[in-house]
Amino acid sequence: MAVFLELLVNGISVGAVYALIALGFVVIFKATEVVNFTHASLLLAGGYVIARLHPLVGFWAALAAGIAAAALVGALVEFLILRRAHVGSRGVLAIVTIGVDILLTTELTRRIGTEVLALGDPWGDRVLRLGPITVAETRVVALAVAAALIVAFLLAFKFTGWGVAMRATAEDAETAALMGVRLGRVSLSAWAVAGALAAVAAMFLCVFPTPGLDRGTAAAAMKAFPAAILGGLDSTTGALAGGLIVGVTETLMSGYQSELAFLGRGIGDAAPFLVMIVILLLRPSGLFGTKEPARV
Amino acid sequence: MSDSTPTAATSTPATPTRPAYRPAVLRLPARPIRAALWLTVLAAAVAVPFYLEGFWLQAGLFAMSAAIGAIGINLLTGATGQLSLGHAFFLAAGAYSYVYLSSDLGLPAPLAAVAAVAVAGVCGGLFSPIAGRLKGAYLGIATLALIFVGQHVLFNAEPVTGGFNGRPVPPMELFGFVFADTPELVVLNVPFGSLERLWFLGIALLAGAAAFARGVLRGRPGLAMNTIRDHEIAAGVMGVPVARYRAGVFVLSSMYGGLAGVLVALVFQQVVPDYFGMLLSLDYLAMIVIGGLGSVAGAVAGAAFVSLLPQLLTRYSDALPLVAEPGSGGVSPAEAARILYGAAVVAVVLFLPGGLAGLATRLGRVRLKELKWAKSAPAPASRR
């Protein structure tokens, strides 16, 4: 039972980190209807800046720099490429983001090489004992920070002018533009926000118990894709739920690996995708996604 | 509006002689020229193994296999607008099925190859409940599952897949003719090893695959697919069974993937799970964007570009600036190639809509216009 609880708590905190990534993904999709495959490399960029800067300026300044860098990269991708691509379908824009992703990931993994970069976080490998279960401090912080950020964003969507503009654009871009919403700014800010969230997530993905930032981190970030889609691509609540489902599934499957030996080694990595397939079979637009009714 | 006014809708069908649908292709002036062009291409392709060394043959064979796979994914992504990141999975399905069926079940090689393509199609069919219902980039994310689950199976189902080290591929054998280095064969003083022999098989397969896809794209299915891509609801209203078409094209494209997998396995002579990862799927998407979405020629051009680039950079790395030897710390040829074609994808979408095939068409049109003008315009002297 203690093992189960421990795995569950770990799963929830990892899930919260996935939810952060998925949230950025959903924000971009809502604001611009672009499925952003660059997300994994934004995350890698943020993590890389933190890892390289922390010996020079200390962890907190490096974290701020990493968040700013990832936001800047996101904004630049929107401003320099997507805004200038005049294509008929959103599907082609998705492929453009794949092109950008190939560029960024290749360059970043080349720079990282075979190294495993530490992030110099203040929590180290300390663990917290809560009754029968032990949890890494980083996991607790991750859960708290992710929860705070997600709540802040949900509130911002509801109550700030930026959030209203974003929601109006998602609802009907043309009408929103006629009402004075500046679409360029909305999508630029969406990309910047998504980059910033990805950098925070990168930090939590690379600290204890993970050894550090290496070239496999981008693959870990891939798990946010099923998180975003199984919750529903256009739903912030869905991103939250999807992240938690993916995190818990992954952690439980890895934790009980020895009992699940018939499924093979490393089932934890494939499990989120299996869950995604099952959910998509039952609900093609995700758990919380809106099913667009078409009027003909 | 009174009844007597002819509207645009009623006046258009008045020209029944013109075919309703004219795809944008490079139209050469006359039939004989086109036939001569094709004969030249064919002759050049047949002559290649007699003049070029093994490196070029292998590079060419990889390009042919990539072209077959790219035609398949272009039917899906380019013509129907359905994104797929799972194409590598279907290549793996084809390659591994061929190995399993011919070595373990002892099927004759050609039969095993056909069955392997069928297996890839069945895999695509099993995914069709999702492929039929999801659209565009949504499907792209869902197909990521195929890659991750596929990799998991390839690494773990060791009795069938050989695990991490993969399995050797038995050579193809057609009517007693073995596509391998033994028995020795010398044609016109050129020793014909496995690469030379496979070259002709590759050309035949690619030509067949291209012809079939062309037929699909130019016929009613092609029209339906393009309509689904351009306006799903309009397609449905006009009587196109959207979900069935999406699922069907997904199956067809996975069979193309399977065929490409069989060919690549025959060239490699060893199948390893690492090859069939996420990066391969991304390569395929890069190919069709660079070549041109929705056309067979585009898929072939893009496949040649993306699959030849890393090999050329590797071969000439010491002569190129900025490209370092693999492992020396600089930009390795493989990385340089990835950076180049990542940039090419972005550049094509920004500056060259239609890709390489679109560029060729436009150049062809300009030429034709010049040609027509030169023919029809009277000499400047008489105009005065």
Q: Is the pLDDT of residue B172 over 90?
A: no
Q: ∠ at Cα B253 (B250, B257), nearest 5°?
A: 130
Whether pLDDT at B168 is above 90: no
pLDDT in tens, B55-83: 888 888 889 999 999 999 988 888 888 88
Domain count along chain A? 1
Q: What is the pLDDT of residues B193-221, one digit of tens each?
A: 777 778 888 888 888 888 898 888 888 88
Q: Which of B138, B156, B288 is the best residue to mutate to test the A interface, defined by the most A CB atoms within 10 Å of its own CB? A: B138
Q: Which residues of B touch A81 (CB under 8 A)?
A: 346, 350
Residue A195 within a domain? yes
- The answer to whether the CB atoms of B339 and A107 lie below 8 A apart is yes
What's the pLDDT tens digit per position in B17-57? 555 555 555 555 567 777 788 888 887 777 777 777 778 88
Interface test with A, best of B73, B160, B346 (most A CBs within 10 A): B346
Label each residue of A48-66 as H, E or C: HHHHHHHHHHCHHHHHHHH
| Residue to test with chain B: of A98, A275, A292, most B Cβ within 10 A | A98
What distance in Å separates the CA atoms of residue A99 and residue B257, rounded to the nearest whole number? 21
Nearest chain B Cα distance for residue A281, angstroms: 6
Q: Do A296 and B233 touch (CB under 8 A)?
A: yes
| A88: its two tokens | 């008929």
- How far apart CA A106 and CA B344 sit, in angstroms, is 14
> Residue A21 falls within a domain, yes or no?
yes
Q: How far is B342 from chain A (nearest CA, A)?
A: 5
Q: Which residues of B touch A86 (CB under 8 A)?
A: 353
User: Cβ A35–B233 below 8 Å, yes or no?
Assistant: no
Domain interval for residue A146: 2-218
Residue keyed to tokens 């110099």: A120
Residue A294 pLDDT class (50, 70, 90 cuts) = low
Cβ atoms < 10 Å from Cβ of A128:
14
Write the secondary structure of chain B as one string of H (helix), E (strand) and C (coil). Answer: CCCCCCCHHHHHHHCCCCCCCCCCCCCCCCHHHHHHHHHHHHHHHHHHHHHCCHHHHHHHHHHHHHHHHHHHHHHHHHHCCCCCCCHHHHHHHHHHHHHHHHHHCCCCHHHHHHHHHHHHHHHHHHCHHHHHHCCHHHHHHHHHHHHHHHHHHHHHCHHHHCHHHCEECCCCEECCEECCCCCCCEECCEECCHHHHHHHHHHHHHHHHHHHHHHHHHCHHHHHHHHHHHCHHHHHHCCCCHHHHHHHHHHHHHHHHHHHHHHHHHHHCEECHHHHCHHHHHHHHHHHHHHCCCCHHHHHHHHHHHHHHHHHHHHCHHHCCCECCCCCCCECHHHHHHHHHHHHHHHHHHHCCCHHHHHHHHHHHHHHHHHHHHHHCCCHHHHC
- Does the distance separating the beta carbons of A233 and B156 come in below 8 Å? no
Identity of the residue in B142, B148, B339 whose CB atom sits nearest the CB atom of A229: B142
Contacts of A81 (CB under 8 A, 6+ apart): A96, A100, B346, B350
How big is chain B by its Cα radius of gyration, in Å? Answer: 23
pLDDT exceeds 80 at position B326: no
Return the residue of A nearest to B82 by Cα: A91
Q: Which of A286, A85, A289 lies closest to A187 in space, CA to CA?
A: A85
Q: Give me the DSSP letters along A198-216.
A: HHHHHHHHHSTTS--B-TT
Is residue B323 a contact partner of residue B336, using CB atoms and an 8 Å limit?
yes
Q: With an 8 Å Cβ cutoff, are B137 and A35 in contact?
A: yes
Query: Which tokens belong to B314?
Result: 């590797």
pLDDT at residue B377 tops 60: no
Nearest to B298, CA basis, from B338, B260, B353: B353
Residues of B in contact with A88 (CB under 8 A): 230
The answer to whether the CB atoms of B155 and A284 lie below 8 A apart is no
Residue A142 lies in a domain: yes
State ipTM. Answer: 0.82
Q: Which of A94-103, A259-268, B83-92 is least confident?
A: A259-268
How far does the CA of residue B30 sit from the closest CA of chain A (Å)? 33
Q: Which residues of B touch A85 (CB under 8 A)?
A: 349-350
Query: Cα–Cα distance between B88 and B108 in angstroms, integer?
Result: 25
Q: Which of B229, B237, B212 is nearest to B294 (CA)?
A: B229
- Identify the sign of the CA torsion B223, A95, A295, B247: positive
Give me the percent of chain B exceeding a pLDDT of 90. 8
Could you report the per-residue pLDDT of A172-201, keeping only the tens digit for each? 888 888 988 888 888 899 999 999 999 998
The identity of residue A269, as a single letter, is D
Contacts of A280 in chain B (CB under 8 A): 130, 134, 142
CB contact under 8 A, A296 and B332: no
Are residues A89 and B229, on separate chains, in Cβ contact within 8 Å? yes
Residue numbers in A near B285 (CB within 8 A) = 95, 98
C-alpha to C-alpha distance for B260 and B202, rounded to whole angstroms:
10
B307: CB partners within 8 A, 6+ apart:
B59, B62, B63, B66, B283, B287
Q: State the amino acid at position B12 in one-letter form.
A: T
Nearest to A19 by CA among A246, A218, A283: A246
Predicted pLDDT of residue B67: 92
Round to whole Å and give the CA distance between B184 and B60: 22
A99 → closest Cβ in B142, B157, B286: B286
- Answer yes or no: are the C-beta atoms of B228 and B80 closer than 8 Å: yes
Q: Do A98 and B134 make contact, defined as CB atoms within 8 angstroms?
A: no
Residue of chain B minimizing CA distance to A224: B141
Domain annotation covers residue A86: yes
- Quick one: CA dihedral B129, B135, B141, B147, positive or negative? positive
Q: Do B342 and A86 touch (CB under 8 A)?
A: no
Give the angle subtended at the CA of B154 by the CAs of A267 and B55, to the nearest 5°: 140
Asked if the structure places residue A270 within a domain, the reply is: no
Contact B349 A269 (CB under 8 A): no
Domain assignment present for residue A247? The answer is no
- All residues of chain B having their beta carbon less than 8 Å from the beta carbon of residue A35 are 83, 136-138, 140-141
Residue A282 has pLDDT above 50, yes or no: yes
Residue among B137, B156, B332 minimizing CB distance to A264: B156
Which residue from B82, B149, B282 is facing A98, i.e. has the nearest CB?
A: B282
CB atoms within 10 A of CB B52: 15
Q: Considering only alpha carbons, which residue of chain A is nearest residue B330?
A: A110
Q: Among A136-140, B172-176, B281-285, name the one with the lowest average pLDDT.
A: B172-176
* pLDDT (tens digit per residue) in A197-251: 999 988 888 887 777 888 778 777 788 888 888 888 878 888 888 888 988 988 8
How far is Cα A228 from Cα A223, in angstroms, rounded to an integer?
9
Does A90 sit within 8 Å of B137, measured CB to CB? yes
Query: Which residues of chain A lie closer than 8 angstroms to B149, CB-CB?
Result: 270, 273-274, 277
Does B137 contact A91 at a Cβ distance shorter than 8 Å? Answer: yes
Measured between CA atoms, how close is A283 to chain B, in angstroms?
10
CB contact (8 A) between residue B341 and residue A100: no
Closest alpha carbon within chain B to A100:
B342
Using alpha carbons only, give the angle A122, A125, A126 rounded to the nearest 5 degrees. 85
Size of interface A-B (CB pairs under 8 A): 139
Is the residue at A99 inside a domain? yes
Q: Which residue of A has its CA nearest to B332?
A: A110
User: How far is the CA of A9 from the CAs of A2, A13, A19, in angstroms?
Assistant: 11, 6, 15
Which residue in chain A has the smallest CA separation from B345?
A: A99
- Tokens of residue B298, six digits: 């585009």
Tell me the chain A residues in contact with residue B346 when contact means C-beta distances shorter than 8 Å.
Answer: 81, 96, 99-100, 103
pLDDT given for residue B118 in this prediction: 92
Residue A171 lies inside a defined structural domain of this protein: yes
pLDDT digits (tens, 9 = 90+) for A72-120: 999 999 888 888 877 666 677 888 888 898 889 888 888 888 888 888 7
Q: How many CB atoms lie within 10 A of CB B382?
A: 6
| Alpha-carbon radius of gyration of chain A | 19
Most confidently modeled range among A273-277, B166-170, B332-336: A273-277
Q: What's the gap in Å between the CA of A294 and the closest CA on chain B?
A: 8
Residue A198, phi then psi, degrees to nearest 5: -65, -35
10 Å CB burial of residue B224 (0-12, 13-18, 19+) is buried
